[in-house]
């Protein structure tokens, strides 16, 4: 069943390349990659398994040699394009060793097989006030909760009626301790989108 699901979301009509790789550098030094944003376009939307905050997926990369094809790499889902029918998933990755190092020299990946999503939603939207704390790359783990609750609160689409109900969160605070100023570039685009949707209820406090 897992293999069939992976094929369903990865095979079919062609989207080439399937994944885009965006590099973020350590300040003005463009020789050192501080983080990678991997954005994958799904062949079909995740209709029956909507993305929930705190989830992750195992990724298989098809065009990085035979050894990489049979390996799976778990990464937290940091962002997605639609609350109920996601067709694009983004992962914020800090290069370590292995596959993440290879991604620092690439701008795209031809085909990515996705196994997931997995993980447990902590149901933070059952709390009136939510405080999220992160340091450095840890922002990738808490950003999905901020995105989920903000989008759920301000969703206006009629088909999202059940999605909106049950949310009691009134205030979300994110405390992000950055190890350097350049780290704010990792998520600045996503934070801007959240502020555009609900500037009164989303507060981001960045500490150096």
Q: What is the pLDDT of residues 167-186, one digit of tens each?
A: 777 778 888 888 888 888 99
Q: Do residues 10 and 114 lie in contact, with contact meaning Cβ atoms separated by under 8 Å?
A: yes
3-state SS assignment for residue 77: coil
Residues 6+ apart with CB under 8 A from 7: 113
pLDDT of the residue at 115:
84
Write out the chain's pLDDT in tens, 208 residues.
767 666 666 665 455 678 899 999 987 767 789 999 999 988 777 766 678 888 998 888 877 766 666 677 889 999 998 767 788 899 999 988 778 888 888 898 888 888 878 888 888 878 888 888 999 999 998 899 888 888 877 766 555 555 556 677 777 888 888 888 888 899 989 988 888 877 666 666 655 5
| Residues of each domain in the chain carrying CATH 2.40.30.10 | 2-118
pLDDT of the residue at 61:
84
3-class SS shares of the chain: helix, strand, coil, % to 5: 30, 35, 35
Two tokens, residue 157: 């689409």
Residues 6+ apart with CB under 8 A from 85: 45, 46, 47, 50
DSSP 10-44: HSSS--SSSEEEEEEEETTEEEEEEEEEEEEEEEE
State the Cα–Cα distance between residues 25 and 19, nearest whole angstrom: 20
99-120 tens-digit pLDDT? 888 888 889 888 888 887 888 8
Tokens 């939603």 belong to residue: 121
Question: Span 2-118: which CATH code?
Answer: 2.40.30.10
State the Cα–Cα distance between residues 180 and 18, nearest whole angstrom: 31
Q: Do residues 134 and 142 lie in contact, with contact meaning Cβ atoms separated by under 8 Å?
A: yes
Q: Which CATH architecture has domain 124-207?
A: 3-Layer(aba) Sandwich (3.40)
Q: Extract long-range pairs of 153-158: CB within 8 Å, 24+ residues apart.
A: 153/198, 153/201, 154/197, 154/198, 155/83
State the Cα–Cα distance between residues 206 and 83, nearest whole angstrom: 26
User: Which segments within the chain are labelled E, that is strand?
Assistant: 19-26, 29-46, 56-61, 73-76, 79-80, 86-93, 108-109, 112-118, 129-135, 171-177, 202-207
pLDDT of the residue at 86:
83
pLDDT of the residue at 8:
62
| Residues of each domain in the chain carrying CATH 3.40.50.80 | 124-207
């Amino acid at each position: 069943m897992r293999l069939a699901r992976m094929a369903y979301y990865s095979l079919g009509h062609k989207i080439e390349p399937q994944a885009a790789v965006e590099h973020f550098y350590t300040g003005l030094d463009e020789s050192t990659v501080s983080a990678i944003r991997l954005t994958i376009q799904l062949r079909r939307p995740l209709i029956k398994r909507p993305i929930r905050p705190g989830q992750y997926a195992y990724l298989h990369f098809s065009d990085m040699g035979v050894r990489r094809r049979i390996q799976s790499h778990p990464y937290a889902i940091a962002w997605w394009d639609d609350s109920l029918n996601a067709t694009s998933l983004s992962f914020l990755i800090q290069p370590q060793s292995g596959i993440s190092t290879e991604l620092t020299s690439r701008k795209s990946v031809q085909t990515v097989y996705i196994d997931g999503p997995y993980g447990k939603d902590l149901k933070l939207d059952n709390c009136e006030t939510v405080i999220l704390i992160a340091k450095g790359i840890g922002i990738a783990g808490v950003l999905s909760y901020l995105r989920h609750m903000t989008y759920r609160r301000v969703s206006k689409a009629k088909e999202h009626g059940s999605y909106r109900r049950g949310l009691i969160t009134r205030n979300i605070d994110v405390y992000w301790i950055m190890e350097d100023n350049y780290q704010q570039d990792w998520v600045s685009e996503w934070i801007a989108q959240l502020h555009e949707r609900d500037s009164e209820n989303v507060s981001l406090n960045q500490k150096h």
